[in-house]
Amino acid sequence: MRTTTTVTNGSSCYQVGKKVADGGTYRTFICTPEGEREQCLLIISTSPDQNGKLDRWVYILRELKRISDEIEEEYARVKSGSKSPLNYEIQFPHVVDSFISAEQGGRRIIILSFRKVEDVRKLVPLGNLTSKDRRRVDLRTSVWIVGKLLKLLAFAHSEGIATELMGKKNILIEPEKHYVVIFDWTQAILAQPGELAVECQRKDIMGAAKAVLVALGGDLSKGTVPDTDDSTNAYVDYLYWLARGNECDAKSAHSRLYQHTDSIWQRQFYQFTTKPLLKQG
């Protein structure tokens, strides 16, 4: 991005802050819409040739939002008692703005926000935990991470959408609020509901399980995870079963996950907990 402190689109103005990521397709900056407190992320393509990938990202996110709103409205009509909202929309970014910037050489800019997250710096890639912080999540913490990933995949897959980028760098977590977000949808596959290829679904589930196993400090080549015992072996074995491509139905995977974990831990809020990463070998 050319040296500037603001970018504008019509009457909308965004104060641009620190660059937080730099990839082959786009660069990512923290930004704040003028007059607001809530931080967003500004994504700018590295060249006009990459604009189409950001266009796809925007389209997919808007489809996810449209569909999740429809499902939430229907759920609110039919639910009984005081059931909580489904909250699918918490698990993917929201498109605040999208435009071509002449000032930035005709490159696409998109502004993304995250539901109920005012400080985007609190959203961190799951992979940073082991690669940068040299920490690993404990087994009980891993449950809500993989559970929310499978919940989102069950929703997206049912609507014919696969992420195709389900990896530790594309999974963002907000540890305090227990949010899990899939960030980049530039390579997403879009099919008609009920017609998404089985292998696309399988690949997403495998990627989610592998990312969580790495966050646990697991050794994928050996099929091990630290701190397992007789009470948790079945849960860890199930994660490896998913990681090896044995499941292509995220809804079923989600249900079976809790069949394993409900026999070990109660379903209640559990503080995000990490331990030092152990040396493998």
Give dist(CA 175, CA 207) in Å, integer.
Answer: 20
Fill in the DSSP letter of residue 183. -
Q: Looking at per-residue confidence, does 79 or 15 come out higher?
A: 15
pTM assigned to the model: 0.94
- pLDDT tens digits, one per residue of 57-68: 999 999 999 999
Alpha-helical segments (H) within 161-249: 198-215, 233-243
pLDDT at 84: 83
Residues of the chain with CATH 3.30.200.20: 6-120
11, pLDDT greater than 70: yes
* Helix or strand (DSSP H, E) at 180: strand 179-182
Choose which CATH entry (3.30.43.10, 1.10.510.10, 3.40.1050.10, 3.30.1240.10) describes domain 123-276.
1.10.510.10
**Residue 87 carries which side chain, given as an amino acid letter?**
N
pLDDT at 1: 64
Give dist(CA 225, CA 222) in Å, integer.
Answer: 9
The β-bridge partners of 40 are 31
Give dist(CA 25, CA 52) in Å, integer.
Answer: 10
274, pLDDT greater than 60: yes
**Contact indicator for 115, 205 with CB cutoff of 8 Å:** no
Residues of the chain with CATH 1.10.510.10: 123-276
pLDDT at 221: 95
The β-bridge partners of 107 are 101
- pLDDT tens digits, one per residue of 218-236: 999 999 999 999 999 999 9
pLDDT at 151: 97
281, pLDDT greater than 70: no
pLDDT at 202: 98
pLDDT at 4: 60
Q: Taking residues 240-249, what's their average pLDDT?
A: 98
Neighbours of 156 (CB within 10 A): 29
pLDDT at 191: 96
Give dist(CA 233, CA 105) in Å, integer.
Answer: 55
78, pLDDT greater than 90: no
**Contact indicator for 42, 111 with CB cutoff of 8 Å:** yes
Task: Express as a percent the part of the chain with pLDDT over 70.
Answer: 97
Tell which residue, 102, 114, 100, has the closest CA to residue 52. 100
pLDDT at 254: 98
Q: Which residues are within 8 A (CB) of 246 and not within 5 positions of it... i.e. 6 or more apart?
A: none
Give CATH for domain 6-120: 3.30.200.20
**Contact indicator for 242, 208 with CB cutoff of 8 Å:** yes
- pLDDT tens digits, one per residue of 130-185: 999 999 999 999 999 999 999 999 999 999 999 999 999 999 999 999 999 999 99
